[in-house]
Structure 1
C-alpha cells in the first residue's frame, strides 16, 4: 500500500482538523450580516432590502467565499501546514483570503492587476499578504498558476467558487436572506439582485431558489457590455466583453467557469457613471459608503421596480451591499479621478433621485465622454 507521508501523516490530519475548527469558530462569531430596508415615495407598493455584506470582518461579500474556498482546500487534501496560498483577485477576495490565511498561520500571495484600488492593495499587505501586481489584467490567472506550480495552494476563486459553496444551505447567502425575511410582510421576494464576479453568488442564489421551490426571480446586475452580459444573451461561454469597466469586482472581461446562465432570469446592464451615482445615493440614504458594485445593484433594483410599478405589481426586491466604500476613496469617490476618466455622475444622480420620487427611471442622454478608460 502506497501513502503520501506528508499529506496523510497524523500530524497533518490533526492540523487540518484544527484549521477546520478555527473556521467553524469564526463562522459562529461572525454569524450573519444585517438586512436593511428602505422605502421610497415613488414605489409605495415595493419594499427594498439591502443585505449589508460589508459588515463581515473583512468588509465584503467575499468573506463568505474565502471561508468556503479554504474549507474546500482543506477537505479535499489540497492544503497542508506551512503551505503558501495564492489566488488571483482584484481586491476584495484577496483581502478576505489574506485574513483567513493569517487566522490559519499561512502565508498568502494575491495576484492582482496593477490598476487595483490602492486601498485594497494596502489592506492585503496590512493583513500580512504579499501582492504580486500584474500590468496586464488578463495574465493574473497565468501568474497565479505559476505560483501554484512552485508549490502554493491555488484557492482559484474563479474556477472553484461554485463547487466550494454549499448552495443547499449551511448559512449561504440565499438561506440567510430568506431567513431574515421570514417575519417581513412579504417573506418571499419578487426579485433578488446580485452581480457576477466569479459567478458563485448568482449560482448559489439561483440554485437555492429552485431548491426551495420559490417563485423569486434572480437578476444579475452588470457593467454594460461585460463578458457575462455578452455570454448570457447568446448562451455563449466563449463570449468576451465588448467594453471595459471601472467597477471592480464585477464586469469580468470573459465568461468565468462559475457562471451558470440558466439559473438567472434577467440581466441588467448599468453604465459605470450610473453605478457611481447610485453608490453616492446609497451613502446619502444609509449613512455609510459602499463600493461601486453596490451602486450597480441599486440601479438594477430601480430598473426592476420601475417595470413592476408600470405593470401595477406589488412585492419586494433584495440586493447586496458588496463592500466598504472607503476602499475606493482614491478612485470612484474622488471627483478628480472621475473627471480624469470621463465619468460624469451628476446627470445620473438627478435621474436616480427623480426615480425615487416618481417611480419612473429615465436615463440621461448618453454622453460621448462616458467611461473611456
Structure 2
C-alpha cells in the first residue's frame, strides 16, 4: 500500500493542522477559563454545633456557582478536557446524558462558546431543571426509561456528528486531582486558618463518582489523614457494588434523589479511594435537607440532605470516641429547584415517605448528642 502524502513534495507526511480550527479552540479555552477566573470561590459555612462537642462542621456551598450547583465544576472540566483533546471544535454539537444539573451547567458552557447542546433526560426530571437547561439555550430529549439515556445520547451524537460528553466515563479523569483549584484543594485552603484545618472526614455523594475520585486521590497525594465517606441513596448500585467488590453491580432502578445514585456502577466511580460508604433512606435525605433549612435558613436540594444524614452519624461516632476535629460536606445545589418535589408535602406523601421519624432523630441528636439507630423511614 502506498502511503498517502501531502501536497508539498510527496514526503508522506500528513498535516491535519488547521489554523482556523486551532484559533477557535484557543479562544474557546480562554472563555471557559475566564469564567472560572471571574468567579470567587464557593463559601464554607459553619453549622452551629454545641461548643462543648469540640467538633466543627463546615458546609461548602456549591449552589453559588453561576449555574447553581456542584456540577458547574464538572461541566467546566469536561469542556476543557474535550477542547484540549480535540474532540470539541467549531460547530460541534454537544450531547450529554444527564438527570439535570450537569445538563444545566453544560448548556451554560455550550452557549458561552457558541455551540448547540442537546441533553438526554428522564421524563420525570423536575420542571425547574428543564427550564434552566432551556434558559441557557439547551434542548432536552426525553426518555421514559432512565437506563436508555446512555445509548440514546450515543445515537444522537452520531446522528449530529457531535461529541457525546459522557460524564459518567470522563468525570474522574477530566479534573486534575493533584490540585489546580479543584474542590479538594479549595476545601483545605479555606480551612487553613480554622482550629482543625485538616478534617477528620469529608462526606460527599456520588453521581458520576468524579467528586469522590478527585477528593480521595487528593487526600492520598497530599498525605492527609482525612478519610472520605460517600453517602448513597436508595436504589443506587454504588453502595452494594462497593461493599461486594462487584464492579458490574446494577439495580436497574433510578434514584429519587436527583444528582446522586445510579442504577449501575459507573466508569468514573473509583471505589478504592473511599474509606466508608453509608446507605441513606430517601426519607432521611429529605428530612435532613428540610432540617438544614429550618436551623440555618440555607435552602438546599435532596443530595445535600443525604450528605448531612451521613455527617450526623459520623459526628456521633466522633463524640462517642472522644475525638475532636472537623467534618466537611457539600451543599450540592439550591432548594429552589425542588419546590415541586422535595419541599412539597403532597409530593412526599405520594412517594410513600414519612419524614417524621427521621426529623425526630435529627432533633434528638442535636439536642442530646446521641444518635438513635432506629429506621428513618
Give the TM-score, by structure 1 length. Answer: 0.95
* Counterpart-to-counterpart distance in 2, 1:361 and 1:291: 23
Q: CA deviation at 1:152?
A: 1.2
- For 1:300, the equivalent position in structure 2 comes to 310
Q: Which has the higher contact order (CA 8 A, sep 6+)?
A: 1
Q: Does 1:61 align with 2:70?
A: yes
Aligned pair count?
Answer: 364
Q: CA deviation at 1:224?
A: 3.6
* Counterpart-to-counterpart distance in 2, 1:195 and 1:43: 29
Q: Which residue among 183, 192, 195 is the counterpart of 1:185?
A: 195
Q: Which residue among 158, 164, 168 is the counterpart of 2:178?
A: 168
- For 2:339, the equivalent position in structure 1 comes to 329
Q: Secondary structure at the match of 1:259?
A: coil
Q: CA deviation at 1:355?
A: 0.9
Q: CA deviation at 1:285?
A: 2.4
Q: Which residue among 300, 306, 329 is the counterpart of 1:319?
A: 329
> Residues 43 and 356 of structure 1 are in contact (CA less than 8 Å); yes or no, is this contact kept in structure 2?
no
Unaligned 5+ segments in structure 2 are: 1-12
- For 1:2, the equivalent position in structure 2 comes to 14
* Counterpart-to-counterpart distance in 2, 1:203 and 1:36: 23
Q: Secondary structure at the match of 1:125?
A: helix
Q: Which residue among 267, 284, 293 is the counterpart of 1:257?
A: 267
Q: How does 1:1-373 map to 2 (within 5 A)?
A: 1-4=13-16, 8-41=17-50, 44-150=53-159, 151-241=161-251, 244-365=254-375, 367=377
Q: Which 10-residue stretch deviates more, 352-361 or 127-136?
A: 352-361
* Counterpart-to-counterpart distance in 2, 1:78 and 1:154: 9
* Counterpart-to-counterpart distance in 2, 1:213 and 1:338: 43
> Residues 247 and 265 of structure 2 are in contact (CA less than 8 Å); yes or no, is this contact kept in structure 1?
yes
* Counterpart-to-counterpart distance in 1, 2:129 and 2:73: 18
* Counterpart-to-counterpart distance in 2, 1:104 and 1:365: 49
> Residues 230 and 241 of structure 1 are in contact (CA less than 8 Å); yes or no, is this contact kept in structure 2?
no
Q: CA deviation at 1:148?
A: 1.6
> Residues 252 and 264 of structure 2 are in contact (CA less than 8 Å); yes or no, is this contact kept in structure 1?
no
* Counterpart-to-counterpart distance in 2, 1:24 and 1:16: 12
Distance 1:111 1:57, change over 3 A: same
> Residues 248 and 293 of structure 1 are in contact (CA less than 8 Å); yes or no, is this contact kept in structure 2?
yes
Q: CA deviation at 1:170?
A: 0.8
Unaligned 5+ segments in structure 1 are: 368-373
Q: CA deviation at 1:244?
A: 4.9
Q: CA deviation at 1:82?
A: 1.3
Q: Secondary structure at the match of 2:33?
A: helix
Q: CA deviation at 1:365?
A: 4.4
Q: CA deviation at 1:3?
A: 3.5
Q: Which 10-residue stretch deviates more, 38-47 or 57-66?
A: 38-47
Give the TM-score, by structure 2 length. Answer: 0.94
Q: Secondary structure at the match of 1:40?
A: coil
